């Protein structure tokens, strides 16, 4: 990989957070998958046991729809063919593995990994409690204020009965490698949700089937984050304090560049900061740092890494340790590591 190559899978979504002294932007970078076995590209999802919440369908859909830069990451085999074979031959997981290895019925020879599992827990648990209310239409104690006016000092209190439903779904998922029937990945996922209702409101508690089917979709998304590269988001601070003497025009350039970043005009801000950095002979760690942020925005994470380190060297020569720069160097080093892992995973699936 060329150091100067653009890392198209890393980037930054410009969203300024808060209006306080520290201006921040939200950064996005790629995270590698925990599972790196290349056989998961060609994958099929079997019907799950005890699946009253469409868990296997949710996982099948999540795998089918997961994309990186507009390209599908998985090649998901048609479920109808699988279900037909299972129904006709009454196969279990190991039987289907054997069938695929031996004759590849109905074009299923391309399957390299099977996803199987069970819905281990699917419940809703109500809990009852009382809440206190105040009836402002009924006064139980009056008093005369300093102006001689009668006012209510205490209103009537009463309690209402309430119920809180806790919905819980636990699913055990297993990835089986067809070639040797070995387990590539196995994990238990649990999601929960809570809804409440009191006797004096008009809320209707949702039925278990509806909520837990939604929880099944959340579990499918949690699974994708483990078995495929995905994006993570974090905040990065923009520096706006002049660390050396700026001329009036240079101060204005820094101000305008930061304003451009706010307005998602990152390429223009990058150009302006490069010019400003040149005019300052690369003596300002503030400008170098902000320039590095824009390079992250544009996906040039190796260039950003060099600029952050250059900014740190200038600060250290002055006996200063800048928290934002130290954090950026650690962050970018981790992002480069994750990117390179993700690239290997993506390339292995081609």
Contact 267, 310 (CB under 8 A): no
pLDDT of residue 102: 62
Contact 211, 169 (CB under 8 A): no
Q: What is the mean pLDDT of residues 103-115?
A: 72
Res. 6: pLDDT tops 60:
no
Mean pLDDT for the chain overall: 86
Q: What is the mean pLDDT of residues 45-67?
A: 94
Res. 239: pLDDT tops 60:
yes
Q: What is the mean pLDDT of residues 304-328?
A: 94
pLDDT of residue 178: 84
pLDDT of residue 38: 80
Res. 3: pLDDT tops 60:
no
Q: What is the mean pLDDT of residues 9-13?
A: 47
Q: What is the mean pLDDT of residues 270-294?
A: 95
Contact 6, 300 (CB under 8 A): yes
Res. 4: pLDDT tops 50:
no
pLDDT of residue 111: 83
Q: What is the mean pLDDT of residues 217-229?
A: 94
Q: What is the mean pLDDT of residues 23-33?
A: 79
| Tokens linked to 125 | 């648990």
Closest CA to 118 of 174, 78, 57, 80: 174
Q: What is the mean pLDDT of residues 265-284?
A: 94
Helix (H, G, I), strand (E, B) or coil at 27: strand
Sheet with 230-238: list strands edge to edge: 11-17, 23-31, 230-238
pLDDT of residue 255: 93
Ordered structural domains, the chain, with CATH: 38-124+164-228 (3.40.50.10610), 241-348 (1.25.40.10)
List, in order, residues 6 or more apart from 50 with CB less than 8 Å away. Answer: 118, 119, 120, 122
70-74, 169-173, 342-346 — most confident range:
169-173
pLDDT of residue 75: 87
Res. 17: pLDDT tops 60:
no
Q: How confident is the model at residue 198 (pLDDT cuts 50, 70, 90)?
A: very high
d(CA 250, CA 201): 61
pLDDT of residue 232: 79
d(CA 176, CA 100): 13
Q: What is the mean pLDDT of residues 46-65?
A: 94
Using one digit for the tens of pLDDT, what is the confidence trace for 115-165?
999 999 999 999 999 999 999 999 999 999 888 899 999 999 999 999 999
pLDDT of residue 7: 44
| Tokens linked to 329 | 């160097």
Model's pTM, two decimal places?
0.73
Q: What is the mean pLDDT of residues 185-189?
A: 96
């Amino acid at each position: 990989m060329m150091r100067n190559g653009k890392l198209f899978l890393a980037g930054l979504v410009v969203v300024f957070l808060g209006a306080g002294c520290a201006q921040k932007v939200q950064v996005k970078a790629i995270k590698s998958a925990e599972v790196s076995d290349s056989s998961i590209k060609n994958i099929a999802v079997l019907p799950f046991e005890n699946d009253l919440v469409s868990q296997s369908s949710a996982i099948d859909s999540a795998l089918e729809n997961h994309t990186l830069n507009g390209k599908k990451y998985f090649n998901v085999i048609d479920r109808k063919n699988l279900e037909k074979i299972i129904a006709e031959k009454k196969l279990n997981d190991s039987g289907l593995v054997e069938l695929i290895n031996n004759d590849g019925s109905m074009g299923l020879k391309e399957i390299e990994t099977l996803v199987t599992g069970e819905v281990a827990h699917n419940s809703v648990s109500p809990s009852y409690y009382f809440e206190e209310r105040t009836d402002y239409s009924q006064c139980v104690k009056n008093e005369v204020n300093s102006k001689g006016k009668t006012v209510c000092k205490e209103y009537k209190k009463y309690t209402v009965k309430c119920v809180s439903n806790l919905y819980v779904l636990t699913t055990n998922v297993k990835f089986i490698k067809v070639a040797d029937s070995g387990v590539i990945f196995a994990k238990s996922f649990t999601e929960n949700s809570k809804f409440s209702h009191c006797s004096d409101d008009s809320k209707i508690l949702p039925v278990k089937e509806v909520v837990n089917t939604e929880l099944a979709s959340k579990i499918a998304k949690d699974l994708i984050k483990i078995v495929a590269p995905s994006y993570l988001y974090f905040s990065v601070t923009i520096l706006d304090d002049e660390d050396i003497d700026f001329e009036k025009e240079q101060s204005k350039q820094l101000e305008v560049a930061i304003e451009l970043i706010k307005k998602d005009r990152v390429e223009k801000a990058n150009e302006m900061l490069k010019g400003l950095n040149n005019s300052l002979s690369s003596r300002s760690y503030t400008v170098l740092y902000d320039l590095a942020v824009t390079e992250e925005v544009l996906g040039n994470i190796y260039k950003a890494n060099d600029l952050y380190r250059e900014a740190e060297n200038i600060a250290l020569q002055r006996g200063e340790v800048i928290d934002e720069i130290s954090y950026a160097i650690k962050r970018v080093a981790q992002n480069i590591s994750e990117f390179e892992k993700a690239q290997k995973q993506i390339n292995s699936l081609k």
